[in-house]
Amino acid sequence: MKTQKARRNRRAKIHEISLSLLGASDEGLRVSYIQRVIEDSCRFRCSPNTLGQVMRSCVVSGMIEQSLTKEGHSFWKLNPVYIPPMETD
């Protein structure tokens, strides 16, 4: 059975992995690539539709810029305003 706590934990993990991948990439990533990385690194499935639903608040707020590639695939890029500055010693 899927409990609310387990669902909340899965969504938090999806959110965390997605933002860290987008933060590490300067050019942005295809949604299907993010989805595959999540499935490979976690024990649960994450369809592109589920990924889109979980990350919808970030897309609507403008934190993630959404576009389509020439082939029609979804492509996400972190908005430069939200990229944290690099710390130097």
**Inter-helix orientation angle 4-24/31-41, to 10°:** 120
| Residue 42 included in any domain | yes
Q: What is the pLDDT of residue 89?
A: 62
Nearest to 66, CA basis, from 84, 83, 52: 52
CATH of the domain at 57: 1.10.10.10
pLDDT for 33-85, tens place per residue? 999 999 999 888 888 888 989 999 888 888 898 888 888 888 999 887 766 66
Q: Does the reported pTM lie above 0.85?
A: no
Structural domain of 75: 4-80
| Residue 59 included in any domain | yes
**Cβ within 8 Å of residue 65, ≥6 positions away:** 28, 76, 77, 78, 79
Q: What is the pLDDT of residue 48?
A: 86
Q: Are residues 76 and 28 in contact, defined by beta-carbon separation less than 8 angstroms?
A: yes
pLDDT band at 2 (very low <50, low <70, confident <90, very high): confident
| Residue 68 included in any domain | yes
